[in-house]
Structure 1
Amino acid sequence: MKIVIIEDEMLVAEDLASMLMQLKSDIEIVSILSSVAESTAYFSTNKQPDLIFSDIQLGDGISFEIFKAVTINVPVIFCTAFDQYALEAFKANGIEYILKPFNTESLETALAKFESLKMMMNNSSEKNQAAMDALNEAESRLSTSTTVMIKYRDKILPFSFEKIAMFFLEDELIYLYTFTGKSYIISESLEEMEKKTPEIFFRVNRQFLVHKKAIEFVSDYFPRKLKITLNFDFNKDIIVSKEKKGKVLSWLKN
């Protein structure tokens, strides 16, 4: 377990480091920092540890300034001689608040709380990963048939390819558009959907991946391009470049 200590009194910091290493043999003190400025610079350029022990009142300010200046995603155990900062401490990734002078018992309690939280997070992560693996497996099976699973907001929606008229890009968002006129913003890119869809879909340009049955007719469009007219009302022109014109015509013919 890698730990960073933020403490402006070196003797206190060394004493804390010694006590921690005696409590757990796998603890490694990777750095002892003594000020807001030094800590901010350190966390801006170095890999974050597993856990931080931090004093609150430092020589050049309050340690909460560090967590406002840089993004820190690891738990913090605050050690201080004053208890008026407890509420703010828990807003700054704090998981425990130890009053000085600390002792072995208080440090054991703090470390036990950290281990408990870490176990809870790992279990939650494993469950989420198992759910995603199951979803991906199901999606893989369905993608070889006639259905695609769309991650839409907090739901997973199954769509038959026969019900999807097209996918298109607008204002950096990807939409699924059905033959019934409904549209959904989806998380997948057009490139990802192009890989999932069967050959009845074609990427006619950068913005549109279209179902063949959605096309009413195509017409020449100056100069040497194509214009696609759909068999339902849609307020955007779908233009095919001259470079892709031959491929689109071949796809429609076959």
Structure 2
Amino acid sequence: MQILIVEDEELAVKKLQKTLLSVSAVANIAGVTDSIKSTVEWLQENQQPDLILMDIELADGQSFEIFNLTEVKSPVIFTTSYDEYALKAFKVNSVDYLLKPIQKEELQAALNKFQKIQSNNTAADINIDVLVKQLQQKLQPKEYRKRFLVKHGQKLVSVEIDEIAYFYSDGRLNFFKTTDNRKFVVDYTMDELEEMLEPEKYFRISRSFYVSIASIDKIDDYFGNRLILQLKPAVDKEALVSREKVTDFKKWMGK
């Protein structure tokens, strides 16, 4: 089994080579590259390997760029330090991953998987470019809203997100209040706001409220295993933390 290693840390390369040879009698290191540029050149100048072990973070960028610059027909195992929960959906036929530091048993299992794929000739049925693009999107940091454009009389004004104390709904319209007690209508549903607001800064305490930590003046117990918040500036409706949100709200407040 011809294997290309894409890794920019010399020590990691040596460890990976040693582990590979210890778990597979048929593994042969066809080449080692340490950058996007050198990997693209290697793939264009050599026969496609049976398998590629590819670090996601290389010195000249994320290795996903390789797939934009040349055709990759080989199955790939990404090596990464990313959280396994962000990547678990991508353990599919032509894309796999191993968390660093790479464990011998996990590498053995991954090699066994690809040998099975090879013998069944199923790798060709998988569109690796599509899968890699999905993986790249999954790992890219999400962009959250930095400001909102809202009506103020006959004018439009831009309000920075750091100026907003909380968002709430009265059942008909959705609003936000700023830290200096200005109130604006916002033209998004509460569910749409959930995709826009950074979860470190805003928490959805109920179907009709998002609050920032800075807006919480006091927290009291409330009947029905709920909590009631006193917000600043004051709000003209009860800010209740729903029963199913209480545990997560306490964790959020304690970060």
TM-score (norm 1): 0.44
Bigger Cα Rg: 1
TM-score (norm 2): 0.44
